[in-house]
Amino acid sequence: MAYNALILRNPARAEATVAEFEKLGITSWCAQLIETIWPEELHGLEAMVQRLVAGEYSWLVLTSVNTVVVLEKLLASYQLPASLRIASVGEKTSDAITAKLGRSVDFQPEIQSASGMLDKWQLTPGTRICYPHGDLAKPTLSAGLLNRGMVVDEVIAYQTVSTPCTGTVVDPVTATKTLNVLQPEAISAKLEQMDLLVFSAPSVVRRFRQLIEAGLPASTRTIAIGQPTAKALRAADLPVHAIAAEPTPQGLARAAKDLLQLHGLAVVEETK
C-alpha cells in the first residue's frame, strides 16, 4: 500500500526526513508555515554578544539551533571565553554548538525540554546566565532559574513569523534535490490524501490551526517531533497519534513506521 505524508517544515530542512520516509515507501510533501527572521532591533542582541565575549557570564544556555546560528553570525571573528560553560536543551542544539561555535557542551539533559533542564541542571545561586532565545519561548526556563536565585540575562535572538514573510531570514537554505512542495494555502485541498501529518514545532501547530479550522480527516495520523509539540497539538484540539522518541529524521521515521504497521493504533512515547 502506498502512503503519503505532509511534513510541515521548510523543505530544505525536511530533506533528511523525506529520505527516511522514502525508505519506508512513504511519499512526502513539504509545506513551510513559519520562518525565522532577525529581530527589528539588534542593539540588545549585539550588546549581549559583547558581554559574552568580555567574559561577564558563567553560563550560556541555548535552546534552539536557530539561536546557535544567530550567535555564529554575530560572533564573526570573536571567540567565546574558554571559561564560559554552555548548556544545551538537546542533541540537535548540541551538534549545532559543536559545528558552528566550535565548542563542546557542558550540560545537556536526558529529557530534551526546559523542564528537563531545570530538573537536572545543578547551579550555585547567584550564577550569571546568558539566555538568548526566540520571541515565542515560554518563560518556563527563565522563571525556573530566577526562582532558584540565578541572575538571568535574556534577549530576543530571532522572531518566528508566518510565511510568506518580508523580514530578513536568519539562515536561508535551499533544498539540494527536487521535493514535493505545497504552499500553505494549498494544504486544505490536499489533506484528504495524507496518511500522516508531521508537526515540527509548537509554532507550526498554531499556524496550521489558523489555516485549517476544521478537524482532520478520520484516516489522517499525526506525529509530533517532541513533547512540547504534542502539547501544542492537544491545546489546538488536534489528535496526537505518535510522539517521536528522538527529534531526528530517524526518530520521525520510526514513529511513522510503527503507526503504519499497527494501522494507526500505536503511540510512540518519548523515553522517560
Q: Is the pLDDT of residue 264 over 50?
A: no
What pLDDT band is residue 215 in, cutting at 50, 70 and 90? confident
Q: Is the pLDDT of residue 9 over 70?
A: yes
Q: Are 88 and 121 in contact (CB under 8 A)?
A: no
Query: CA-to-CA distance for 89 and 101, rounded, in angstroms?
Result: 16
At 94, list the grid cell.
Answer: 548540541
How far from 1 is each of 181, 207, 263, CA to CA, in Å? 22, 31, 12
Q: Is the pLDDT of residue 269 over 70?
A: no
Q: Which domains does the chain have, with CATH numbers?
A: 3-33+170-261 (3.40.50.10090), 38-161 (3.40.50.10090)
| 210-237 mean pLDDT | 93
Q: Is the pLDDT of residue 270 over 70?
A: no
Helices 202-211 and 227-235, interaxial angle, to 10°? 30
At 103, list the grid cell.
Answer: 565548542
Q: Is the pLDDT of residue 162 over 50?
A: yes
pLDDT for res 262: 42
Q: Is the pLDDT of residue 216 over 70?
A: yes
Q: Are 196 and 2 in contact (CB under 8 A)?
A: no
Q: Are 35 and 169 in contact (CB under 8 A)?
A: yes
* pLDDT tens-digit series, residues 75-88: 988 999 999 999 99
